[in-house]
Amino acid sequence: MSILQKMGISKNSPSEVLLTSFNSKKDPHAAAVGVYLLNEKKVKMNLFGDTQTYKNLSNSGEAVANIVSDPELIIKGGLPDIFSPPLKTFSFETAKKVNAPYLSKADAFLEFEIKEMKEKTLNDDIGFSKYFETIGSVKNIEILNDNPHTLKRSDFYLIESSVLASKAISARKKGKKEKFNDLVDEISFFKQKSQKIAPKSRTSNLILDILDHLDGKINE
């Protein structure tokens, strides 16, 4: 088993990480991205074409995948429209082998070099989106925190709510009001689940923050 597999990165299920990169002015950037294992030394991710992350990676050719066990970091990095400005709350340091930053709060991180970016089109229930299938060759792996951390059911509800919220924001931008409302209903279902298993928890409150933001945008 490779070290990437030992960290839980696998071929068929995305690992949610925070991808960190530099823009052309060398300002650090972070965004939530799903990463897959390709082989012992390579990882794969799908980057939407309209993101700063895609721009940074296509220009610099290098990035870091930060493994974090705190779901709050993932959702804040994935929903800048809701939790702005998330970048100010992250603290960055410079990676060792690539020209990219990493997060000081990461439990572990993978430094990688882009080997390939293939343009593809996704056609799903919110319409067409351009994305780039991106392959990275891992140059360095650092483990910063080996404290065990349990999985919580409410963490799952929060992460899934954030993925649905990211999709709802795209649906709204594409003018798909009905789809937007369906996605908000799905998040409400997870809110109820989370409030039942983890009432008044930080996780449940973050799902409420997501819903409060989206409810305000329903008719925009």
Ligand X SMILES: Cc1cc2nc3c(=O)[nH]c(=O)nc-3n(C[C@H](O)[C@H](O)[C@H](O)COP(=O)(O)O)c2cc1C
Residues forming contacts to ligand X in the complex (CB under 6 A) are 16, 31-34, 45-48, 51-53, 74-75, 78-80, 159, 162-163, 166
| Nearest distance in Å: CB 14, ligand X | 7
| Residue 167 CB, nearest approach to ligand X (Å) | 9
Q: Do residues 182 and 94 touch, judged by C-beta distance below 8 A? A: no
In the complex, the smallest distance separating the C-beta of residue 149 from ligand X, rounded to whole angstroms, is: 18
Least separation, in Å, of the C-beta of 86 and ligand X? Answer: 9
For ligand X, the closer of residues 93 and 160 by Cβ is 160
Phi/psi at 153 (5° precision): -60, -35
Determine the residue with CB nearest ligand X.
78
Q: 25, 101 in Cβ contact below 8 A?
A: no
Q: Which is nearer to ligand X, 33 or 183 (CB)?
A: 33
Residues 6 or more apart whose CB falls under 8 angstroms from that of 74 comprise 16, 17, 18, 32, 68, 159, 162
Q: What is the CA radius of gyration of the chain?
A: 17
- Of 20 and 195, which CB lies nearer to ligand X in the complex structure? 20
Q: What tokens does 24 get? A: 């052309």
Give me 179's structure tokens. 């789809």
In the complex, what is the shortest distance from the CB of residue 45 to ligand X, in angstroms, rounded to a whole number?
Answer: 6
- Helix (H) / strand (E) element for 56: namely helix 52-60
Q: Considering the complex, state which of residue 36 and residue 198 has its C-beta at the smaller distance from ligand X.
A: 36
Contact 45, 36 (CB under 8 A): yes
- For ligand X, which is the closer residue by CB, 121 or 199? 121
